[in-house]
Chains A and B, each alone.
Chain A
Amino acid sequence: MNLTLPRFFLNEFRKRRKKSALITFALFWGTLSVLLLLAFGRGMTSQFRTSFSGLGENLIMISGGQTSRVHQGLPKGRRIRMVPTDVQYLKERIPEIAVIAPESYNGWPVSARGKEINRQVHGTTAEFADLRTQIPQPGGRFLNPDDVAKGRKVAFIGWKVARDLFGAEDPVGQKIVVNRVPFTVVGVLQKKLQDSMYNGPDADQVYLPFSSFSQIDSQPYLDRIHIQPREIGLSVLVEEQVRALLGRMYRFDSGDKYALSIWNTIEDAKEAGAIFKGIEIFLGIMGALTLLIGAVGVTNLMYAIVRERTQEIGIKMAIGARRRVIVQQFILETLFIFLKGTFWGFITAFNLVHLVRLIPISYEGFGIEAYLLRPVFSLEIFLIFLGIVGTLVFLSGIFPAVRASRLNPIEALRYE
């Protein structure tokens, strides 16, 4: 076997490994902490994001309100209510709108097979599926344009409604009776995390084609309009145009924030995104600090090793070792110690994360486990981690190494 400098250094290191056992453990622990903190932090924020977008992504929701300003001689306090034709009106006049859908709802009894429950029943169009992440379970579908155009008596129901009425049975193709009118179930909502809503989670809702809904609903008004702008950056512009157009139509001041109630999830998401990023950075720093403690230990150990091996350094200098060789040796030893500790920390963290991900989580309610039990181990996390470790290896190795290389050969040789 050929001896090379790194191999020679590795040999010397191996013979001393017992002395570095504790430090290796500290590094193992530090690595485990950093990686778990990053993975759980990332998992938590990604679950937050998923459930945040459970309502819908890049969504602007508009409903009627009450004026708070006098406008064109009209008093304040007037109620503003939209009507179904406003949807087409807005779509034609605002080119920045990508998708738009109406929504009206009413609380009605819903029954099937002799069971009766009271639920919110909504009337809407096919576009609602994209706007509000209404993904059907396999074997079913959401309402389609035909349903709406022809006023079909079909329904799309939340998974809890399905369970409450049909138990474990597949509701697709079965009849439900809404407000005394029979409808055929065409699809059931797939389970999803959802933390923002009105009228309860989507799991508890019943959706009908807007035209069919209007036939059994007596009121002429529209409860809500959902809009997705073409680009995220256009959301404020779209919001302003909606206020201006509807303001002209219903005669209110477009600057009157109370005339329409607008829920802009895009602006909310921006803020939430900043918070999530903040949490992640915070967790990363916590982990890095833990690892730093290990690194301080390594520096300390390396200083001790330099002291202990002063005479050996002297010998190497006497037989012609250049400064670079001495520096290399100590940097490499630092690297060996780090590799040993961080390797096992990495393996352990990786396996723990994947074990935890196997634990099933419930989509009902908002259990903390839904956020905690889905840690994510990404390449990005690994790269961040490598960056931290690399920096620490360098910092904890360079000072002892330089000190070793600056030793006076004579004094080093005489050192006992």
Chain B
Amino acid sequence: MIEFRGIKKIYQMGGHALEALRDVSLNIGKGEFVSIMGPSGSGKSTLMNIIGCLDTPSEGEYYLEGRNVAGLTFDQLASIRNRMLGFVFQNFNLLPYATAWENVELPLLFNGKNAKKRRERVAELLKAVGLLDWKEHRPSELSGGEQQRVALARALANDPPIILADEPTGNLDSHSGEEIMGLLGKLWKDGRTIVMVTHDDRIAARSERTIRLFDGQVA
């Protein structure tokens, strides 16, 4: 599903190079639930961004479902993010001026789905996360847990096979965090691949496998 071969990521910072990832090779199979751990600055986020096609590696090859991602255009990557990957961020990253409904609808709109399909899908998703009654609310009118559930619904909009969660419970109280983890667990049982960054061992313990990063390398 996700295959890294000798991935390097080098940032140019005011003249000197910063190696965020040095020679990372890894394999995440279909339907796996993997957590990525490591101290800050170990390259977790960079790894996630490359998996999420938000960033491109400086060296090495990344195969997503057997397809080499290197050399794809911005719009091709956008299409992959739209259909194959669902993002859940620590700070939710919902659009502040849009309602819960609109936030969930937007990926469908970008995917060119017609109005009827969008309506059915958004209703289905909001119902699944228990927020159908809150569809007209804006993010600022929702609690953190509710916002993260909207974000999860949005991540699932185009039914992607992979969910990328970057510290999904980092900003939540334990009860809401538990809810989100429950939902992620359910998605995994439904056959989705879950990749999650966390620094909480108890959260990581919910996954099948933990990849530990240290200084830009798999430890």
Contacts and interface: CB of A to CB of B under 8 A. Distances in A.
A321 B112 CA distance: 11
A144 B95 CA distance: 82
Interface stretch (A53-61, A269-277, A310-318): A310-318
Interface in B102-159: 102, 105-107, 109-111, 115, 118-119, 154, 157-158
B106 to A, nearest CB: 6
Contact of A16 (B55, B82, B97): B97
A5 B109 contact: yes
A315 B88 CA distance: 11
A320 B74 contact: no
Nearest to A408: B55
A15 interface: yes
Contact of B97 (A2, A11, A314, A413): A11
B98 A12 contact: yes
Contacts of B49: 410
A322 B54 contact: no
A366 interface: no
A319 B102 contact: no
A315 to B, nearest CB: 5
A409 interface: yes
B81 A315 contact: no
A12 B107 contact: no
Nearest to B110: A320
B52 interface: yes
A319 B81 contact: yes
A318 B87 contact: yes
B79 A320 contact: yes
B105 A315 contact: no
Contact of A8 (B75, B79, B98, B115): B98
Contacts of B1: none
A8 B102 contact: yes
A312 B119 CA distance: 23
Interface in A28-43: none
Contacts of B105: 3
A324 B73 CA distance: 13
A320 B98 contact: no
A323 B83 contact: no
B118 A319 contact: no
Contacts of B181: none
B110 A325 contact: yes
A320 B52 contact: no
A325 B107 CA distance: 12
Given A409-B54, A410-B49, A413-B93, A319 B107 contact: yes
Contacts of A322: 74-75, 78-79, 110
Contacts of B83: 320
A4 interface: yes
B182 interface: no
B41 interface: no
B54 A413 contact: yes
Interface in B146-179: 154, 157-158
B97 A319 contact: no
Contacts of A316: 95, 106, 110
Nearest to B55: A410
B109 A8 contact: yes
Given A319-B81, A410-B55, A4 B109 contact: yes
Nearest to B116: A2
Contacts of B89: 413
A318 B102 contact: no
Given A318-B52, A320-B110, A325-B110, A3 B87 contact: no
Contact of B96 (A3, A312, A318, A324): A312
14 contacts: A8-B106, A12-B95, A15-B97, A312-B95, A319-B154, A320-B79, A320-B82, A320-B83, A320-B110, A321-B78, A321-B110, A322-B75, A409-B54, A410-B54
Interface of A: 2-5, 8, 11-12, 15-16, 311-312, 314-325, 408-410, 413
